[in-house]
């Protein structure tokens, strides 16, 4: 018999599940494809120009290309769109914000289904000053960010459906990352969404791996140890039917 899950943990995991449901792109594990006639959308928020008002970064795919548009928030609630820019990659799957080069200005990390993970460095005025590839995997479906090793620098966790693994990249604080650790997915060949939060209240970021492929939203909670690695927490995880998914 499993112990009851505290309300604050259930709330956090429920929010992570909502993120999975609302993922900007969904795909079949065996056939990730893109329809040029179908528009898709990813949105992240941050204060991109440092005026204390929330702004948005939108990545839209339509007409065979992906474009990034940053819209700056105004005090009256309206938004000022900055000129959009074309992005490389046609199967962009995940978007996350954070100050990855420690300059006090929000940046963006974008993951492509082909495994390319790119960092777009913000200029502090609502623009992008540089773009670089920071990681490459067999595939990249979902990215989340937190300070997993508690060194004051943001790190990344990325789900890779081709390798059926979750990989952690530790940030250097200078806009670079080094591959540190990985662990296998419970449900191989699936496309789980990731969410980072402190699920057990010890002050260390943890990971929730949410699987939607079985229509039951099986999820695993991986507890962080503060060094960039994680331990599975069966009592905080759930698998409605362990046989509901067969690897392809």
Nearest to 213 by CA among 32, 34, 38: 32
Higher pLDDT, 15 or 96: 96
Between the alpha carbon of residue 191 and those of residues 41, 52, 91, 118, 162, the distances in Å are 18, 36, 14, 19, 9
Q: In what order do the strands lie in the sheet with 218-224?
A: 193-197, 206-211, 218-224, 230-232
Burial class of residue 14, CB neighbours in 10 A (0-12, 13-18, 19+): exposed
Neighbours of 128 (CB within 10 A): 18
**pLDDT value of residue 34:** 39
Residue 47's φ and ψ, nearest 5 degrees, are -95, 85
**pLDDT value of residue 28:** 23
Nearest to 14 by CA among 179, 238, 203, 174: 238
Tell whether the torsion through CA atoms of 32, 230, 106 and 101 is positive or negative: negative
Helix (H) or strand (E) holding 214: none
Read off the pLDDT band of 97 (50, 70, 90). Answer: very high
**pLDDT value of residue 135:** 97
Read off the pLDDT band of 9 (50, 70, 90). Answer: very low
**Which range, 64-68, 148-152, 244-248, has the best average confidence (pLDDT)?**
148-152
Average pLDDT over the chain, rounded to an integer: 83
Q: Does 246 have pLDDT greater than 60?
A: no
Give tens-digit pLDDT for 211-242.
875 566 788 999 999 999 999 999 898 876 55
Measured distance CA(60)–CA(43) in Å, rounded: 9
Q: For tokens 């039917």, what's the residue? A: 241
Read off the pLDDT band of 40 (50, 70, 90). Answer: low
Read off the pLDDT band of 245 (50, 70, 90). Answer: very low
**Mean pLDDT lowest among 70-84, 95-109, 171-185, 188-202:** 188-202
Q: For tokens 């402190």, what's the residue? A: 198
How is residue 238 annotated by DSSP?
Answer: B
**pLDDT value of residue 211:** 87
Q: What is the pTM of this model?
A: 0.81
Q: For tokens 């978007």, what's the residue? A: 95
Q: Does 91 have pLDDT greater than 70?
A: yes
Q: Does 53 have pLDDT greater than 90?
A: yes
Measured distance CA(3)–CA(23) in Å, rounded: 30
């Amino acid at each position: 018999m499993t112990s009851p899950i505290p309300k604050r943990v259930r709330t956090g995991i429920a929010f992570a599940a909502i993120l999975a449901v609302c993922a900007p792109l969904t795909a079949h594990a065996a056939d990730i494809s893109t329809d040029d006639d179908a528009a898709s959308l990813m949105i992240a928020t941050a204060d991109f120009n440092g005026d204390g008002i929330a702004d948005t970064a939108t990545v839209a795919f339509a007409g065979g290309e992906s474009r990034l548009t940053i819209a700056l928030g105004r005090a009256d609630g309206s938004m000022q769109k900055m000129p959009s820019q074309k992005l490389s990659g046609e199967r962009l799957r995940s978007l996350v914000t954070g100050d990855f080069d420690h300059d006090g200005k929000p940046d963006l990390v974008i993951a492509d289904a082909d495994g390319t993970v790119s960092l777009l460095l913000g200029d502090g005025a609502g623009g992008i000053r540089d773009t670089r590839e920071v990681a490459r995997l067999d595939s990249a479906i979902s990215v989340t960010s937190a300070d997993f090793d508690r060194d004051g620098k943001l790190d990344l966790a990325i789900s890779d459906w081709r390798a059926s693994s979750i990989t952690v990249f530790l940030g250097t604080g200078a806009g670079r990352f080094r591959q540190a650790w990985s662990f296998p997915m419970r449900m191989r060949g699936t496309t789980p969404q990731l969410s980072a939060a402190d699920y057990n209240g010890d002050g260390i970021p943890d990971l929730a791996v949410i699987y939607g492929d079985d229509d039951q939203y099986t999820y695993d909670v991986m507890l962080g140890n503060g060094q960039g690695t994680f331990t599975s927490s069966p009592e905080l995880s759930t698998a409605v039917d362990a046989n509901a998914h067969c690897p392809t």
